[in-house]
Every structure is written in C-alpha cells, then in structure tokens.
C-alpha cells in the first residue's frame, strides 16, 4: 500500500457542499474525486480539462490568489512559482 499524506485546502463553502453532493451521486467522496484529478494531471502533465476563454480570467484570478497565499505563508515567491512552471513546461523539473 502507498504511503498517504493529508492535505488541507481552502475552498468556498457552498462550492464544497455542491461538490460533495455531486461526488456522492457519482458514488465517491470528495477526497476520491481530488485524487482522481491529481492522478490525471500527473499522468497528462497538465490540467486534465480545457479552460475556455471565458473561464481564463477566473482561472488567473484563482492562480494569483494561490500565489499570494503561498507567498504570505513564506513558501514560494511568484518568481519561484513561475520558474517552476517554466521548468516543468520545458521538461526540466
């Protein structure tokens, strides 16, 4: 069995409730759905769905928020995150 780790994420409460309901209908937990997403992203080495032009602004706002949160907690600067993304895109990670 693989060693497990526990994560804490922040998500809008209403969105979480809607997702829990949807995933329950599909016969899985929120955790299982997140694991499916992460496995697919790792396998594809990309976000496993397309982001349509009308969703790009929302995506970039979310990404900016995540970067700001990480920086405020002393994890990585925006420049470090961008360098990691660039390296991954070039296959250098």
> Does residue 79 register a pLDDT over 90?
no
pTM here? 0.53
77, 71 contact by CB (below 8 A): yes
Spatial separation of the C-alpha atoms in residues 35 and 40, rounded to whole Å: 8
93, 84 contact by CB (below 8 A): yes
pLDDT digits 0-9 by tens, 30-61: 999 999 999 998 988 888 877 666 666 777 77
What is the phi/psi pair of residue 11, to 5°? Answer: -150, 145
Spatial separation of the C-alpha atoms in residues 27 and 21, rounded to whole Å: 10
């Amino acid at each position: 069995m693989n060693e497990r780790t526990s994560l804490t994420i922040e998500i809008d409460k209403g969105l979480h409730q809607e997702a829990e309901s949807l995933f329950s209908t599909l016969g899985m937990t929120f955790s299982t759905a997140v694991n499916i997403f992460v496995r697919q992203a790792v396998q594809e080495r990309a976000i496993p769905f397309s982001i349509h032009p009308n969703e790009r602004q929302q995506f970039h706002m979310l990404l900016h928020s995540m970067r700001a949160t990480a920086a405020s907690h002393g994890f990585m600067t925006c420049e470090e995150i961008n360098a990691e993304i660039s390296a991954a895109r070039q296959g250098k990670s």
